[in-house]
Each structure stands twice: as C-alpha cells, then as structure tokens.
C-alpha cells in the first residue's frame, strides 16, 4: 500500500461536510482507512460513498460528539473492527450564530462549548486511550480557529471554545510526552474557509469584501487548504511536531 498515511486508521468527526469531508477524502486518498462520523449519519455515509468511489476505504457512523455514551460506542466499534487507531481529527463544531455577549444566554454558551470543547475533550481522551492500547503512537488533530487566538465581535462563546481547544491540546501533548506513548496532539487554526458554516456570511458582499481585505493572500480558503494541513499532521512527516498550532489562514493573523 502506498500513500503518506498508508496503513493507518483515522477517525474524523463532523466528516459529513466541509473540512471534515475534504479531510476524510484526503486521508483515504493517501492510504488511510477512515471512520467518518457526523451528527447527521446520512451526510457521513455520503462522504464514505465519495471515498469508496475514489477507490479508498471508509465506513460511517452517526455520532453526536457531545454524548459520552456515543463516544464509548464509537471507540468500541473501532476496537472491534479496525483494532487500531492512528489518527483522530476532532473537527465537529458549531459557530454559535454571531450573538453579541449581552445577547448570549447561558444555554447558547453551553451549546457552543458543549460541541466545540466537550466534544474535542472526549475525542482527545478516547483517542489517546485507543492509541495506547494499540501501542503504535498516533496523531490527534484538534480543529481550533483564528478565533481561538484573537477575539471577534459576536463570537464570545466561540472564542472561548476555540481558545480552550488550543491550550487543552497543549496539556494533552505534554501528558502524552510524559507517558511516552508516542501520541502527538496539535491544533489547526483555520482562517475564513468556504463551508456550510460560513457560506451564509461569505455570500453577503459586505462580509466577503471585509474578509478578503483582511486576508493578505487575497482569497477565501477552501476546505482542501485545511485538509492539506491535516494530512501533514496525520503523517509521520510531522513526527517531531507536538503541542503546537498550525495556522492556515491566508495571513489573517499576520496583520
């Protein structure tokens, strides 16, 4: 088998669309077997069809990443079926809808932080557990955001959640180093990427023009731009990389 992640088994959450779908296709193209999960089991199954059509290996599961019982079922399924896990892409997330802090309820806050922090916390914890059992090391990739590093108006819950993902991942990387289990944990910080999460805003001329002006490279990103970073962190090419932040933002944070 050839490819940059040949022979590895990957779990991709939120794999039914956007960055998760592009990453599933990319990892499969490069030789991984991909377990694609999503809140919406049908969209995860569609991603799997695309992988199979392209000659790759994948299967899907419906998976609400905020539910620990479902996480345990996903882990049990991988333990029984693939019998190893090398890559976890904790990608599932929500945007929070752009409410100002003064208009945000505790319920809104918990919805965003439940999906974006608790889901990633469980994916990191259970991912490491399975990787340790298999004994081959592994790579956990947690999707944060440029807004896990700087603030944005109307994004307080999202800012908190993505900042938490970033520093939580560093703590997990240190614990893996201390345990000597060969597991690496890193974050990716996308800038503006055209996906279902952003298309409403990016179709508005005022917002798109602002985002373009704010992005030195002069275009809105594609899901594939992030999938390319996922592939690097998933592969052994990044074997000396842990506890770090891969910013893929067309230069947004350089300003």
Which residues are designated catalytic?
A: 158
Quick check: 143 binds ligand NAP (CB under 6 A)?
yes
Verify binding: residue 193, ligand NAP, rule CB under 6 A: yes
Q: Which of 24, 195, 215, 242 binds ligand NAP (CB under 6 A)?
A: 195
* Residue choice 59, 61, 93, 159 for contact with ligand NAP (CB under 6 A): 93
Q: In what order do the strands lie in the sheet with 245-248?
A: 57-62, 33-38, 9-12, 87-90, 138-143, 183-190, 245-248
Q: How far apart are CA 150 and CA 163, in angstroms?
A: 9
CB of 129 to ligand NAP, least distance (A): 19
Regarding 18 and contact with ligand NAP (CB under 6 A), the answer is yes
Residue 96 in 3-state DSSP?
coil
The reply on whether position 250 binds ligand NAP by CB under 6 A is no
CA distance 167 to 161: 10
First vs last Cα of the chain: how many Å apart?
43
* Phi/psi of residue 236, nearest 5 degrees: -75, -5
From 17, 26, 215, 235, residue interacting with ligand NAP (rule: CB under 6 A) = 17
Distance from C-alpha of 147 to C-alpha of 140, rounded to nearest angstrom: 20
Q: How far is the CB of 159 from ligand NAP (least distance, A)?
A: 11
Among 10, 12, 20, 156, binds ligand NAP (CB under 6 A): 20
Q: Is 181 in the site for ligand NAP (CB under 6 A)?
A: no
C-beta of 238: minimal distance to ligand NAP in Å?
Answer: 19
Q: Does 198 bind ligand NAP (CB under 6 A)?
A: yes
- Shortest Cβ distance from residue 134 to ligand NAP (Å)? 24
- Which segments of 7-155 does DSSP mark as H helices, in order? 18-29, 41-53, 68-81, 106-113, 119-134
Q: Out of 27, 92, 156, 230, point to the residue binding ligand NAP (CB under 6 A).
A: 92
41 is a contact residue toward ligand NAP (CB under 6 A): no
CB of 190 to ligand NAP, least distance (A): 4
38: contact with ligand NAP by CB under 6 A: yes
For residues 167 and 242, what is the distance between their CA atoms, to the nearest angstrom?
A: 12
Query: What phi and psi values does residue 39 have, to the nearest 5 degrees?
Result: -50, -40
For residues 202 and 191, the answer to whether their CB atoms sit within 8 Å is no
Residue pair 123/88 in contact by the 8 Å Cβ criterion: yes
91 is a site residue for ligand NAP (CB under 6 A):
yes
Q: Which residues bind ligand NAP (CB under 6 A)?
A: 13-14, 16-20, 38-40, 43, 63-66, 91-94, 115, 119, 143, 145, 190, 192-193, 195-198
């Amino acid at each position: 088998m050839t490819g940059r992640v040949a022979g590895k088994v990957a779990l991709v959450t939120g794999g039914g669309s956007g960055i998760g779908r592009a990453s599933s296709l990319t990892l499969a193209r490069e030789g991984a077997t991909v377990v694609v999960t999503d809140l919406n089991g049908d969209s995860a199954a569609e991603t799997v069809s695309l992988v199979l059509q392209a000659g790759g290996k994948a299967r899907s599961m419906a998976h609400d990443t905020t539910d620990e019982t479902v996480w345990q079922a996903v882990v049990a399924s991988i333990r029984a079926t693939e019998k190893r896990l090398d890559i976890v892409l904790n990608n599932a997330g929500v945007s929070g809808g752009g409410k100002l802090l003064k208009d945000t309820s505790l319920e809104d806050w918990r919805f965003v932080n439940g999906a974006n922090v608790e889901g990633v916390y469980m994916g990191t914890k259970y991912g490491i557990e399975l990787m340790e059992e298999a004994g081959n090391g592994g790579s956990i990739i947690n999707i944060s955001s440029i807004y896990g590093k700087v603030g944005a108006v109307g994004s307080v819950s999202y800012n908190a959640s993505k900042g938490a993902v970033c520093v939580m991942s560093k703590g997990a990387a240190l614990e893996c180093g201390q345990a000597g289990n060969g597991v690496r944990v890193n974050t990716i910080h996308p800038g503006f990427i055209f996906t279902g999460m952003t298309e409403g805003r990016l179709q508005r001329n005022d917002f798109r023009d602002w985002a373009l002006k704010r992005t030195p490279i002069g275009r809105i990103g594609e899901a594939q731009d992030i999938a390319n970073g996922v592939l690097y962190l998933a592969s052994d090419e990044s074997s000396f990389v842990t506890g770090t932040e891969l910013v893929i933002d067309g230069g947004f944070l350089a300003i």
